[in-house]
């Protein structure tokens, strides 16, 4: 119950990693506010769901501000498209969902955190934020932006009582990556083979790392990107 009396806001809480994060915080005593464009997929006495689009400033401004821990997990993929196959519409959609939403939600909560001189933010980056090949042009650009944004946030606010770090997952089995398992699952098999651990990761493994970054064990970590990729980025 290490997060008892803590209120956590998780974006992208209706599926995949975001849902796993919300559920694990609940297991450890937190009150969780889940935000997603989809309906609630969690039923728990300490869970509150807000159906909202975090790329829309008007909807973000309606979110609560008395939050101890912010987990920015909302995000989408881009089908691994190179730049010349990426439309401007898709580029804007990826950047808005993966980066601008994070900026909007973070800025919505920062005044309250700064007033209390206390707060924790965990951003969802990716191994695609550290190297090429983990996504297409738009996705890779967006996750590199998340890494840079995380570092600058930590630089600006660490001395003001706010701790900001990021997670960089590799290949994780979620609804968002279901296409990789389509048909004979050749792409999913190839990804597993290219991963030193020889398997895909599970959302719960990312959720467990999230609780570490949000806990007191990580009190001296600021502006870091925690890689969880089964060794993918070693080569």
Helix axes 137-157, 88-95, angle to 10 degrees: 30
Q: Is 155 a catalytic residue?
A: no
Kindly state the helix (H) or strand (E) to which residue 139 belongs, with its residue range: helix 137-157
CA separation for the pair 182, 185 (Å, rounded) = 5
DSSP structure class, residue 223 = S
Residue 100 vs residues 3, 46, 69: alpha-carbon distances, Å: 28, 28, 19
Catalytic residue, chosen from 47, 80, 139, 155, is 139
36-42 — which CB contacts under 8 Å span 24+ positions? 36/11, 36/12, 36/74, 38/14, 39/14, 40/14, 41/13, 41/14, 41/15, 42/13, 42/14
Query: DSSP labels for 50-115?
Result: EE--TT-HHHHTTS----SEEEE------TT--GGG--HHHHHHHHIIIIIHHHHHHHHHHHHHHH
**CB contact at 8 A, 108 and 114:** no
Can you read off the two tokens belonging to residue 24?
A: 């694990």
Q: Identify whether the C-beta of residue 207 lies closer than 8 Å to the C-beta of residue 20.
A: yes
Strands 225-228 and 69-72, by their bridges, are unpaired
Annotated active-site positions, please? 139
């Amino acid at each position: 119950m290490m997060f008892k009396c803590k209120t956590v806001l998780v974006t992208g809480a209706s599926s995949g990693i975001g849902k796993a994060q919300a559920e694990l915080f609940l297991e450890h005593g937190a009150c969780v506010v889940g935000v997603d464009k989809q309906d609630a997929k969690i039923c728990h006495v300490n869970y509150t769901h807000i159906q909202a689009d975090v790329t829309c400033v008007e909807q973000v401004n309606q979110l609560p501000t008395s939050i101890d821990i912010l987990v920015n997990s909302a995000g989408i993929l881009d089908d691994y498209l190179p730049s010349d196959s990426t439309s401007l519409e898709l580029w804007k959609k990826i950047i808005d969902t993966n980066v601008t939403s994070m900026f909007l939600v973070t800025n919505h909560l920062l005044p309250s955190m700064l007033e209390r001189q206390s707060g924790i933010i965990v951003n969802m980056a990716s191994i695609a934020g550290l190297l090429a090949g983990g996504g297409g042009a738009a996705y890779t650009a967006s996750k590199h932006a998340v890494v840079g944004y995380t570092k600058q946030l930590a630089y600006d606010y660490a001395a003001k009582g706010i701790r900001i770090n990021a997670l960089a997952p590799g290949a994780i089995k979620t609804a968002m990556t279901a296409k990789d398992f389509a048909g004979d699952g050749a792409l999913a098999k190839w990804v597993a083979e290219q991963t030193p651990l020889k398997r895909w990761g599970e959302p719960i493994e990312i959720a467990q790392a999230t609780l570490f970054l949000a806990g007191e064990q990580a009190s001296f970590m600021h502006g870091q990107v925690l890689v969880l990729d089964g060794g993918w980025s070693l080569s």
